[in-house]
Structure 1
Amino acid sequence: MKIFLLLIVKVLLRSHTCAEDAVFGRIIPSRLQLFECESVSFTCEDFDDSAKFRVLRKTSSKVSTCASNWGMTKDSSCIIKHAYQEDSGEYWCEAQDQRSSNTVSISVTENTICSAGSVILESPTPPVMEGDDVTLHCRSKRKSSNFIADFYKDDLIGSSSTGEMMIHNISKSDEGLYKCRISGAGESAKRYLAVSERHKDSDVRSDQVNVLLFFLIKIVTISLPATLLVFVLRRAFGKQASKHDDTLTSTE
Structure 2
Amino acid sequence: MERSRLPLLLCLSVALCCRPSAAHLSVRPVSSQFFSGTPVSLSCWDNGAPSGQTLRRNTSLDVRTPCDHWGQTHVSFCVFSFTVPLDSGVYWCESRDEVAGDVINITVTDAPVILQSPALPVTEGQNVTLTCKTKAPPSDLPATFYKDGSLVGTEPTRHMTIQRVSKSNEGTYRCDISGMGESPSSWIRVTGYSPGEPTARPPPPDSTHMQLLFRLICHLVVFCPYCISTALLVLLYQHRARGGNRSVSMATDSTNQAEKGLAAEYDVGTVGVS
Task: Report the TM-score range of the alignment, normalised by the length of the smaller protein.
Answer: 0.3 to 0.5
Please say which structure displays the higher CA radius of gyration.
Answer: 1
User: Which structure's relative contact order is higher, taking Cα pairs within 8 Å and 6+ residues apart?
Assistant: 2
Return the TM-score normalized by structure 1.
0.32
Taking structure 2 as the reference length, the TM-score comes to: 0.30
